[in-house]
Structures are given as C-alpha cells and as structure tokens.
Chain A
Amino acid sequence: MKNSLENNEFEEQWKKAFDSKELAPSDRVWSGIDAHLANQEAGGYKRTAVFYRWVAAASIVLLLGWTGYYLTNRYEDSALTDQHSAITQQEINSEIIDNSEIELANKAVAENNGEDDLGNERFNQNEEILLAEQGKTSGTTQSEEINAFTNTNDAQVASIESEEPSSFSKPLENKENTTDARLASIVENKSENQGTTVDGESLIASAGVSSIGDTDHGEALAKTDPNGFDLKLSEQPGLEPEAIPVWDFEIIDKKKNDPESLFAGLNFSPGMFDPNFSNSTAAANNLSALSFDGAVSNSVAESDVNQGFSYGFGVNGGIPVGEKWVLQGGLEYSVGRSETSTSLIVESASGDRSALTFTNSVEAEAMDNSVRISSPTDVTSSYQFISVPIKAGYSILNKKKFGLMVSGGVSSDFFLSNTISSSQQGIASYRQSSGSESPFKSVYFSGLSSLTLTYKVTSNYMILLEPSVKAALNDFSKSSELFNSRPNSFGLGVGIRYRFK
C-alpha cells in the first residue's frame, strides 16, 4: 500500500514538475507554419483562378458558338429572302408571259373572226367574276377566286386555236392594270371582312414576303406583281394570304456543312502561363539553408511563383480524315513568363550579379558564386519552348462563311532556355539553357484542347480565333529537383489559314 502511494507520489511529482511549464520555440517553427498557410492560401486562390479561367473559357466558347450560330442563321435568312425574291420574280415573269399570251390569243381570235364583242365579253368575264367575288364574306377563300380566274383563263386558252402572238406590249399593260385593281380590291375586301384596317403592306408582310415589307401600300402592290402573288396563292389551295406561315416559304433546304479540306496556316497566341510549381517551399528553404548554412530565415527565398503573360507563334496545317474530322499538326515557338521575388543575389568572381531563386540555385552553387542579401526584388522568369502539337479536330459547324471546330491532342514541348531577369538596376539576366545542369527536362508533354472559330474571307483564305488550354501531362522539372513543375497555359489565338481546294 505504501509502495502504491509512493508510486503515485512519484507520478504526481513529475506531473507537478511539468504543470503549466512553458518554453519558447524558435521563430523557425512559425515561419514554416506561416509558409504552409501561405501556400495553402495561394493554392486556394489558384484553384479559384483555375475555376474562373474555365468559366471564362466556357463563356467565350458559348459566346463564340452563339455568335457563329446567329451570324450563320442571319446569312441563311438573307440568302432565303434573296432566293425567294428571285423565285417570285421568275414566277411573276412566267405568269405575265402566260397571261399575255392569253390576251394576245383573245385579241387574235377577235380580230380574225371579226368577233370583237365576243373577245371583250370573254375579257370582261374575268372582271365580272372577280367583282362578284369581292362581295363575298370571309367564307369564300381567296384561292377560290383565283382558281375561278385561272380556270377562266384556262378555258380561254383551250378555246383558242394555235395562233402565234405578234406583240406583247399592249395586252400586257391592260392585264397588269386590271389585275392590280383586282388585287387591291381583294386586299381591301379582306381587311374589311376581318373588321381591321390591315393594309396591303402588313398583309403581304404577314405572308412572309419580306422583300416588300418596307414599302407603302401602293408601292407594295406595284412592286409585287399580282400575277405572281396569285400564282403563289393558287399553289396553296384553301389557304388565305395572312394564314400562310413564314415557314411555308422556306423552300430552300438548309445547306449541309461543307466538307473539311486540307489547310496550312499561321497563328499568334497571347495568353497566360503558369509554371505550376509544387514543393517549392522545400526548395526555397533548402536554398536558404545552402546559402547561409541555415543561419538566416527562409523568408529571403520566396517560394510563391505567380503566373505571367505568354505568347506564341508558329505554323500549322491540317488534313481531313473524314467529312468532319481533321488531323492537325504544327510547329510553334512560345515564351511563358512567371513572376516571383527574391532577396538573394548571386555574384560571380567577375562581379556580375544576378537574381537567385530556387530554380537556379544548383547552377549558382556549381559556379561557386558568392551569395548576398539585398532588398526584395521582383524576378521574372521567361521560359522559351518549341512545341510540336498534334490535334484531332471535330467540325461542329462549317457553313459558307463560318466554321466552328473543337480539337484535342498532345503537344511535345522542347525546352530551349529560361531567362531570369530582375527589375533592380545592376542585376543582369541569368540564362538557364536546356541540358544536364538545367533543373528542367529537355522535353515534356502536354495535353491541349482548343475551340476554333473560322471566318472565310475568300474561298481559300480564312481568319480564325482560337481559345485554347494546355496542361502538362508529366513533370517539366527533373526528378532530381526538390521542386516539381507541371506548367499549364491559356491562350487566345488569332491566325490565318489557306485552304487547298
């Protein structure tokens, strides 16, 4: 019992010895925690930025798609109107000729047989029918009037022996004038029957004849040959003019997409580049430790690297592998920038000074340069690449003027060099070339996707707008490095293409 009590006393004494005791850890502990929290925060911003970038890309795609669709439809509507006008005019001319022939035949019959009165009677018969029909209520359809008129003419034609007309001018004028008056009366009569004051313009416009929609009543009637109008109506038995829907006039089949063809082009693509470093904190800490034997806080070497502006230009070409599929390839030179800051300046034996970051620490060490601390300075890294992209594109739209294609593929990115430059005076640019001493691989691979909106300027030349995203599939940094890099970029390219047809 005593032993047990003594044992408890032993533990109590130890417990008491450490009770509420405090000991201050070094600043290094909080620096590490702070760096981790900063990285997490930056990661959060990065994720948010990536999210908004995708939203922006999707918005561009939707906007471009909608614009393409709208413009294509507008073009088709315009073509439809033009074609319809042409067809109507053709029908009008045809009908004028037919009716003129009838009149000439009537005239000829009357003259030959000395039966002028009979000829006049036959001609007036048409007018009588029409005048009688003017008094009809809405229960009588216009097509009936027209059919009656047409049938009468047919009867006249049937009764006429084969005799060639000698002149078209006079009977044509008479017929036109007569029919104008008739059509005007039909229009007015119809308006009255409906109890509205619909004029010729709106009535015709409602029938979808947009080509005369902007003229006044008289002009509309004068421009729209009533014979042509009659002919259209006679082809739609039982339909009243205002009941004819617009789509009844869509006699043009929607054009099918043009097949894709072989092309070659030039492109320029500005955008944003992110080297997307990870484990850079460890690399920065290591750099500080290496440079100062761990005696200086790691805050002198920044681990945060921000994305920067990028641009690229090159040549490309495509070959169709089906009606809608195109295999594309090219060669592109690009420069991607990133921003960071450092307080470490490396000074060579010859006195040249350049900024030291975690990406060039190994080379600086190898050169046995001395490292100094300066005030924090902004550092820009410019990565230069030659890329060979290969993409498969699917044509969503390929109309006469506009085209829309979505593409995906891979790109081999050959690293040329990285130039580390500082805004601070007296600090020279430091150039890291590809090779065994470089922390970066000579080549890495990226996945890429793009949306291409094309506009055909001529049958052979087209201009294009191409938003694209690209993300590394493997590490750009060498496995021996403490940090990792998987660059990604976003670009909004413009270009020109020549189509071989």
Chain B
Amino acid sequence: MHTEEELIKGCQKGDRKLQKELYERFSERMFVLCMRYAKSTQEAEDVLQESFIKIFDKIKDFKGDSTIGYWIKRIVINTALNSQRGKLYLFPMVDVNDTDLREQEMNLSSIHLQDLLDLIQSLPAGCQAVFNLYAIEGYKHHEIAAMLEISEGTSKSQYARAKQLLRGMLEKIESVKHEKFS
C-alpha cells in the first residue's frame, strides 16, 4: 500500500503496478460519479476508461496544487460532460416554477444506491447534468452556465425541472412503499 505521493511519482514515471494501484484506489468512487452522468452502465464504464487514460496521460503535469482525488474527480466530470455534450438539449424551462413546489420530507438513505442512480439516469440529459453539478458537486449556477455554455437562467430552470421530476419519482416510490406496508 503506497502513499498518494508515491503513487503519483510512480505513475509519473509510468510504473504499471502503481498505475493499477491508483486505478484501484479511485475507480470505484469515480464509477459512481460516471454512473450519475451516464445513461447506462456501459456508457459509464466507457467514460471511466477514457477518464483514466487521460489521467495517466496528464499525470506528469500534476503539480500538487490540489489533492489527487480532487484532480481526478475534475477530469472524470469533464470527461463525463464531454461525452454527454452532444446529447444535451439545454434550453430554458418556462413552465417550471420552483417556488410552487410542495416540500415534503424525504429520506434518501432508505433508498438503495442503484435505485438512486436509476432515478438520476432517468432524467433528461440536460437536467441530469445540471442536477449533478448543482445538487451533488456543489457548483453555483453561474459556474454551471460557464461550464455548459448556457445562460444562468437556463441552468436554474433545468435544475428546477430536475428537482420536480425527482420529487415526483420519489413520491411514487414512497407511495409504493406505503402501500406495501399498509
């Protein structure tokens, strides 16, 4: 078990064993990330593969300005967004009003990871990307707008739409559960 510093130096020298160790250390976490942005497992694996190829190509340029985990995550997100770029139909959602949505108690911890991923993957591509970036990655709308080359308003409305859809789906899950227990 090598330290992160040893792993980085080894990968920079092209050490195949340490490259595999780096992959094994980060691939499972990054695969969840890929699954959130992709539409299928196959697609997520392709994104993950492409991301790690980029990581090993570019690791020579890694200066240590941030943690290796954060650097890898940025590459994976960018690769995932690039893979989706052609499929993103991003336009303002004029019929969505976030303030009208009724908030209700949610307990996501009771839902299996794969089910949550299925929920996110079922979102329209544009909504899915904005939702991931805003709700989970924590980017601001103006940052998302810059990343996806859209307006801030579009980012907000896409997010509101994603939220609306997810709530609807969660309500259904809750009602199914409720019916089962009752």
Interface residues of A (CB under 8 A from B): 2-3, 6-7, 10-11, 13-18, 20-26, 28-30, 32-34, 36-37, 41
Tell me whether A22 and B28 are in contact in the complex, defined as CB-CB below 8 angstroms, given that A33-B56, A37-B16 are known contacts.
yes
Q: Is B94 positioned at the interface, with any CB of A under 8 Å from its CB? A: no
Mostly helix, strand, loop or mixed at chain A's interface? Answer: helix
Residues of A within 8 A of B36 (CB): 18
| Complex alpha-carbon distance, A7 and B98, angstroms | 10
Mostly helix, strand, loop or mixed at chain B's interface? Answer: helix
| Complex alpha-carbon distance, A443 and B111, angstroms | 63
Tell me whether A29 and B35 are in contact in the complex, defined as CB-CB below 8 angstroms, given that A3-B99, A13-B106, A37-B16 are known contacts.
no
Tell me whether A28 and B45 are in contact in the complex, defined as CB-CB below 8 angstroms, given that A10-B106, A15-B138 are known contacts.
yes
Q: Which residue of B lies closest to A28 (CB)?
A: B45
26 A-B residue pairings within 8 Å (CB atoms): A3-B99, A10-B103, A10-B135, A13-B107, A14-B136, A15-B135, A16-B109, A17-B108, A17-B111, A17-B113, A18-B136, A20-B29, A21-B32, A22-B31, A22-B32, A24-B27, A24-B28, A24-B31, A25-B45, A28-B45, A28-B49, A29-B27, A29-B45, A29-B49, A33-B52, A34-B16
* Chain A proximity mask over B20-40: 1 for CB below 8 Å, otherwise 0: 100100011101100110000
Residues of A within 8 A of B116 (CB): 17-18
Q: Is B19 positioned at the interface, with any CB of A under 8 Å from its CB? A: yes
Question: 5 smallest A-B Cβ distances: which pairs?
Answer: A22-B28, A6-B103, A17-B108, A11-B135, A25-B31
Residues of A within 8 A of B168 (CB): none
In the complex, the answer to whether A23 meets B106 with C-beta atoms within 8 Å is no
Given A29-B31, A34-B20, 8 further pairs, Cβ under 8 A: A7-B98, A13-B107, A14-B136, A21-B29, A22-B29, A22-B31, A24-B27, A29-B27
Nearest Cβ distance between residue B163 and chain A, in whole angstroms?
7
Interface residues of B in 123-164 (CB under 8 A from A): 134-136, 138, 163
Q: Which residue of B lies closest to A2 (CB)?
A: B103
| Complex alpha-carbon distance, A344 and B99, angstroms | 63
Number of residues in B with C-beta < 8 Å to the partner?
Answer: 34
Q: With contacts defined as CB atoms under 8 Å apart, how many contacts are there between chain A and chain B in the complex?
A: 84
In the complex, the answer to whether B106 meets A29 with C-beta atoms within 8 Å is no
| Complex alpha-carbon distance, A13 and B32, angstroms | 16
Residues of B within 8 A of A7 (CB): 98, 103
Residues of A within 8 A of B27 (CB): 24-25, 29-30
Residues of B within 8 A of A10 (CB): 103, 106, 135, 163
Residues of B within 8 A of A11 (CB): 134-136
Residues of A within 8 A of B52 (CB): 29, 33
In the complex, the answer to whether B32 meets A32 with C-beta atoms within 8 Å is no
Interface centre among A2, A26, A33, A34 (most CB of B within 10 A): A33
In the complex, the answer to whether B32 meets A23 with C-beta atoms within 8 Å is yes
